[in-house]
A and B are shown apart, each in its own frame.
Chain A
C-alpha cells in the first residue's frame, strides 16, 4: 500500500482552515517553471544498475582539466594525510556532538582549529566555523549592525561578487542600506563612510587578485565607529599582513584553500575571527579550554547558548551548526604545513603567478590590467571577449580562468587567472601558447 500521510478529508480540512479551495491554489505562488512536473518516478533499479547509472553521470564531469580558475575557490594541493586522518571513524561527522563534553577529542580539535584561525588572522577569538565564506560575510555584516545599532553597510566593489550577491539576498527584506562602491584607498571613502555606517567590508587580496594594505581604510572606519570587516584568503595570510595587523575588527573568509577539495556546491568552510570585545556578538559556537576539579585539562562549549538553548528566540543568528569536518581538514592541513610550510606554499603561489604574468604579458595583444602587488591571481585583458576564448580552451583541457564580464559589465575582455603551487612551468607555458594561438 502507498504511504498515506493524510487523507483527502485531512487535506480539505487543512485547506479550509487557511481559506483555500485546492492544493493548486496553495502552490500558486511558486512559479510554474519551478514546480515539480511529475511525481511518476521511474521503476526502481538494482544495485549494479544504480552503480552503472551513477558512474555514467559522474563521467559527464570534466576531468583532468588544468585549472587556472580561482575567483574565491582554488586548486591547491591536498596532502594525502588530510583525508587519511579525516576519515577516521572518531572524527567522521559533520556535526558537533549534542552531548559535546563527552566528546573531548572533537572539542579539542575544534579548540585547536580556533587557535589556528586566531594565529592566522592575528585576532583574539574565532568561532567553531560557519557554512562558507559568503555566509560568514553576511554574519559579520549583521554583527556590525547589531553592535553599532546602525543600518548602513559599505561594501567594496571588489569584494567577491558571489558574496555580495549573498549579502543582497540575505538582507533584501531587512531594513538595511547596503552601499557598494569602489574602495581603493582611504581617500575613496570620503563621502561614502559616515556616522551612520555600521561596517566597512573589504577583501584582501581583492577579487581581482590585488593585494592592499587596508590599514588606512580601517582606521577611517574606526574614526566613524564603524566596524572594519575583512574578507580574506587564508593561504595568502602565510605571506601578507594579517587582518589584525591592519586593524580589522572581524576577519572572515572561505577556508576551502586549507585542505578542502574543489566541489560544486561544497561542502566548504566559513571561518571567522574577531577582537575580544566582539566574542558575544559572534554567531556560532566557541570551544574553550579549562581544568576540572582535579586540575586536568578539559574542553567545553563555552558559548553556544545563544543559538540553541536558553535564548532560542533571541539568538544572535540563525546559524547554529558548523562545518566541523571541514574545519578539522583545515586544522590538519595547517598542522602539516606549519608556519614555515604555509609561508613556503604562499611564496610558491606568488612566484608561479609572477611567471605566468610575465609569460602572458609578453603575448601580442594581451595586457595586464593591474600593476601589483598581487598574490596568485591577476586580471589579463585579451584582444577579444574572454567568454568564447575560455570555451575554446576548455576543449583543449584548460580551465583558463574566469571571464570577468559575467560579474562586471564592461570587463568582457578581462580574464581572471589564478596560478596555484600546483601549476607547473610546462602548464603555464601551455596556457600561454594556447592563448597565443587563439588571439
Chain B
C-alpha cells in the first residue's frame, strides 16, 4: 500500500499539498518518488511566480525519467526548497517532510475541494 499523510490533499498527478497557516506546502507523493527512482535534479520555479491550479510548477529528473510537476492550488510561489539543489535525494528519503518542493502564499483555498484526501488517493493509486 502507498504511503500517504492524513493532513494533506492529493492530485491525480501525484502532488500533495498541506496548509501551514499562511502557506501551502507542496511536494510529490511517495508513489511518485518510487516510480521515478533516484531523483537527480529538480528545477524549481522563481520566487514570486504566479501559478494557476494544475499549472506547471517545475521539473524533476531521475535516473529513469524526467517529469513535470504541477501546482495543486492557484497561488504565488513564496519559497522553493533550496536544499534540493545539493541533494535532490531528500525527496526519495522524506517526500512528505524535508523533501517538500515549494511553498505558496496567497493561495486559493477553495481549490482544495477539487483534490483527493489521503483515502481517495490511496484508492486512486491502487487502481493504477
Which residues in A have some Cβ–Cβ distance to B below 8 Å? 149, 280, 305-306, 310-311, 314
Let me know if B41 and A311 touch, CB within 8 A. no
A314 partner, pick from B46, B65, B66, beta carbons under 8 A: B66
Q: Which residues of A contact B65 (CB under 8 A)?
A: 310
Known: A280-B41, A305-B61. A311 touches B46 (CB 8 A): no
Can you name 13 A-B pairs with beta carbons within 8 Å? A149-B46, A280-B41, A280-B43, A305-B61, A305-B66, A306-B66, A310-B65, A310-B66, A311-B59, A311-B66, A314-B59, A314-B66, A314-B68
List 4 tightest A-B contacts by C-beta distance, closest first: A311-B66, A310-B66, A310-B65, A149-B46
Assembly CA distance A310 to B59 (angstroms): 12
Size of B's binding interface in residues, CB under 8 A: 8
Q: Which residues of A contact B59 (CB under 8 A)?
A: 311, 314
Having A305-B66, A306-B66, A311-B66, one finds 10 other A-B pairs with CB under 8 Å, namely A149-B46, A280-B41, A280-B43, A305-B61, A310-B65, A310-B66, A311-B59, A314-B59, A314-B66, A314-B68
Assembly CA distance A314 to B56 (angstroms): 12
Assembly CA distance A79 to B49 (angstroms): 54
Q: Which of B22-51 contact A (CB under 8 A)?
A: 41, 43, 46
Residue of B nearest to A280 (CB): B41
Give the distance to chain A from B50, nearest Cβ to Cβ, in Å.
Answer: 13
Give the distance to chain B from A127, nearest Cβ to Cβ, in Å.
Answer: 17
Q: Which residues of B contact A314 (CB under 8 A)?
A: 59, 66, 68
The winner among B41, B61, B68 for most chain A CB atoms within 10 A is B61
Residue of B nearest to A311 (CB): B66
Q: Which residues of A contact B66 (CB under 8 A)?
A: 305-306, 310-311, 314
The winner among B41, B65, B66 for most chain A CB atoms within 10 A is B66
Give the distance to chain A from B83, nearest Cβ to Cβ, in Å.
Answer: 15
Assembly CA distance A149 to B58 (angstroms): 14
Bitwise interface map of B from 61 to 96 toward A, beta carbon under 8 Å scored 1, else 0: 100011010000000000000000000000000000
Residue of A nearest to B62 (CB): A310
Q: Which residues of A contact B46 (CB under 8 A)?
A: 149
Assembly CA distance A314 to B61 (angstroms): 12
Q: Which residues of A contact B41 (CB under 8 A)?
A: 280
Residue of A nearest to B68 (CB): A314
Give the distance to chain B from A151, nearest Cβ to Cβ, in Å.
Answer: 14
Assembly CA distance A310 to B62 (angstroms): 11
Residue of B nearest to A309 (CB): B66
Residue of B nearest to A149 (CB): B46
Q: Which residues of B contact A310 (CB under 8 A)?
A: 65-66
Give the distance to chain B from A170, nearest Cβ to Cβ, in Å.
Answer: 24
Assembly CA distance A280 to B66 (angstroms): 13
Residue of A nearest to B49 (CB): A149
Assembly CA distance A252 to B86 (angstroms): 27
Assembly CA distance A306 to B41 (angstroms): 12
Assembly CA distance A311 to B61 (angstroms): 9
Q: Which residues of B contact A311 (CB under 8 A)?
A: 59, 66
Q: Which residues of A contact B68 (CB under 8 A)?
A: 314
Give the distance to chain A from B106, nearest Cβ to Cβ, in Å.
Answer: 20
Q: Which residues of A contact B43 (CB under 8 A)?
A: 280
Give the distance to chain B from A275, nearest Cβ to Cβ, in Å.
Answer: 14
Q: Which residues of B contact A306 (CB under 8 A)?
A: 66
Give the distance to chain B from A146, nearest Cβ to Cβ, in Å.
Answer: 10
Q: Which residues of B contact A280 (CB under 8 A)?
A: 41, 43
Assembly CA distance A149 to B41 (angstroms): 19
Assembly CA distance A149 to B45 (angstroms): 10
Assembly CA distance A149 to B50 (angstroms): 14
Assembly CA distance A306 to B61 (angstroms): 10
Assembly CA distance A314 to B43 (angstroms): 12
